[in-house]
Amino acid sequence: MRKLNLVFTSTPGIGNLVPVVEFARLLTNRDRRFSATVLIITIPERPIVNSYIQTRGTALSVHDNDDVNFLHLPTVDPLSADEYQSSLGYLCTLIEKHKPHVKHAITNLMATESGSDNAVSVRVAGLFVDMFCTSMIDVANELGIPSYLYFASPASFLGFLLYFPTLDAQLATEFVDSDTELIVPKDSSITELKIPSFANPLPPLVLPTTALKRKQDGYMWYLYHGRRYLETKGMIVNTFQELEPYAIDSLRVTEMPPVYPIGPVLDLHGLAQWHPDRASQEKIMRWLDDQPPSSVVFLCFGSMGSLSEAQLREIAVGLERTGFRFLWSIREPSKGTIYLPGEYTNLEEILPEGFFHRTAKIGLVCGWVPQVTILAHQAVGGFVSHCGWNSILESLWFGVPMATWPVYAEQQMNAFQLVKEFGLAVEIRLDYREGCDLVLAEELEKGLQQLMDGDDQVRRKVKQMKEKSRTAMMEDGSSYKSLGSLIEELMANIGC
């Protein structure tokens, strides 16, 4: 029997790696001719990602149904964080430095193709790179294998990055550059930017911070990746036609590689199972079991999100004022460029005096949470989200209405899309930026009231999108069919 091995490279972050692994599982389960090898880049400073890699890798190796293997790449010499202006600049350089290791690993996989006297022989059929791993396209080219983009953010953001080299010319002429601050329009009449993957013009302030810091290294990487996506044989996006019709259709033009919306691809069980602190995770679920249906507002800011102490205090006051039951995930700001947030040990000192005592009967404050399991719980009635794409897809899958509080990466654009283009969320903020902004207690209070008591239209639309997201993945659903087309294309590209 001959297996076709698909190789995956991923950015070492929860929001990137988990959807890559789930996509690899989806593909190999759908078509038994495929096996998958996920090349693992390790960053020692990210224990939560490493914990996922270890637990998930072990589970996959003993799970009969999944033909997905993790292959750990050797670590590269640490970079000096001081040399980089942004964590994206650091990350992309670090990934690029793994090129020789990726080449070596794939060459070894290919060496087993010929001369294998095993019952199962293997042929490497393609390399999938994620949004920040496009430097690996060179490796695929050198080895003569086709490369594909696997994009774990929305199609709208993919469209944005593809358009970014064009937008750059506009930003260069119409905006004022700065070494440290966000760029601003030269002319106050420029209040909107037209991006082809958005139905509506965007206020400049919902662009990612990286796109508004023209002089920083992250900006150059955005340009680089946007150009390189065009070199792939296909762009696979973790989204679905019914959610992003405008953005997906905007990508279906002749000069672009074909686009395959194959989502939502979610890890519906895994993330709750691999966190080392199982006791805290179980305590949260027991607490939720005691709450009435749809009564709890859940606040969580992603795997990389943390807020200032002043902001945490405003949230505490806002929550207390509304009197809603709440489950609030708080993370301590990271120690530096490449680190992820950690867990607080002294929250009593940070939150308003007496907060824990006064809210003991209605609220639970915690660190890392089993988010998917929480969103699936009937007690949860609303989700204040940082608008990471995985969080959005998860919330829609379980039909939980969201309130938008973007913090970093492309989340401001996602929030804009959710509120202004889809009507699937209540707005707290669209253009919040950690470090320069403060959402006041009364703003949060207003947003929460709208989320939990007010906007029936959002609630109704979210329920409809829940059904559509599930249908998309079923046999003959839009994403199911799109994955089928991708499989045909994969076979055609290697002449099978």
Ligand X SMILES: O=c1ccn([C@@H]2O[C@H](COP(=O)(O)OP(=O)(O)O[C@H]3O[C@H](CO)[C@@H](O)[C@H](O)[C@H]3O)[C@@H](O)[C@H]2O)c(=O)[nH]1
Cβ 64 to ligand X shortest distance, Å: 25
Alpha-carbon gap, residue 413 to 1, rounded angstroms: 47
* In the complex, residue closest to ligand X by CB: 15
Query: Interacting stretch for ligand X, rule CB under 6 A, among 71-79, 81-89, 278-286, 406-414?
Result: 406-414
Q: Which is nearer to ligand X, 40 or 372 (CB)?
A: 372
- Provide the strand spans (E) within 152-280: 175-176, 184-185, 235-237, 259-261
Q: Which is nearer to ligand X, 126 or 264 (CB)?
A: 264
Query: Is residue 16 at the binding interface for ligand X, with CB under 6 A as the rule?
Result: yes
Q: Which is nearer to ligand X, 34 or 389 (CB)?
A: 389
Q: Which is nearer to ligand X, 67 or 130 (CB)?
A: 130
- Provide the strand spans (E) within 88-167: 121-129, 147-151
Total chain residues near ligand X (CB under 6 A): 27
Query: Is residue 209 at the binding interface for ligand X, with CB under 6 A as the rule?
Result: no
Length of the chain as a residue count: 496
Residues from 328 through 357 that contact ligand X (CB under 6 A) = 329
Alpha-carbon gap, residue 421 to 129, rounded angstroms: 29
Residues from 352 through 371 that contact ligand X (CB under 6 A) = 368-371
Query: Is residue 402 at the binding interface for ligand X, with CB under 6 A as the rule?
Result: no
Query: What six digits make up the tokens of 32?
Result: 């038994």
Alpha-carbon gap, residue 154 to 77, rounded angstroms: 33
Cβ 409 to ligand X shortest distance, Å: 3
Cβ 256 to ligand X shortest distance, Å: 20
Among positions 216, 303, 311, 404, the unique one binding ligand X when judged by CB under 6 A: 303
Tell me how crowded residue 252 is: count the other CB atoms within 10 A of its CB.
9
Alpha-carbon gap, residue 167 to 437, rounded angstroms: 26
Query: Is residue 10 at the binding interface for ligand X, with CB under 6 A as the rule?
Result: no
Alpha-carbon gap, residue 149 to 134, rounded angstroms: 8
- Provide the strand spans (E) within 356-459: 363-366, 380-385, 402-404, 425-427
Query: Interacting stretch for ligand X, rule CB under 6 A, among 11-19, 139-147, 228-236, 254-262?
Result: 11-19
Cβ 109 to ligand X shortest distance, Å: 26
Q: Which is nearer to ligand X, 300 or 486 (CB)?
A: 300
| C-alpha Rg value of the chain to the nearest Å | 22
Contact call for residues 263 and 479 (beta carbons, < 8 A): yes
Among positions 67, 314, 320, 394, the unique one binding ligand X when judged by CB under 6 A: 394
Cβ 132 to ligand X shortest distance, Å: 9
Complete edge-to-edge strand list for the sheet that includes strand 380-385:
363-366, 325-329, 296-300, 380-385, 402-404, 425-427
Among positions 43, 183, 300, 426, the unique one binding ligand X when judged by CB under 6 A: 300
Query: Interacting stretch for ligand X, rule CB under 6 A, among 20-28, 33-41, 387-395, 428-436?
Result: 387-395
Contacts 24+ apart (CB under 8 A), 339-342: 339/45, 339/46, 340/45, 340/46, 340/48, 340/49, 340/303, 340/304, 341/304, 341/305, 341/306
Question: Tokens 């944005």, residue?
Answer: 160
Residues from 130 through 189 that contact ligand X (CB under 6 A) = 152-153
x-marked contacts with ligand X along 408-427 as a string, rule CB under 6 A: xxxx----------------
Cβ 443 to ligand X shortest distance, Å: 22
Question: Which residues here bind ligand X, judged by CB under 6 A?
Answer: 13-16, 18, 152-153, 271, 300, 302-304, 329, 368-372, 388-391, 394, 408-411
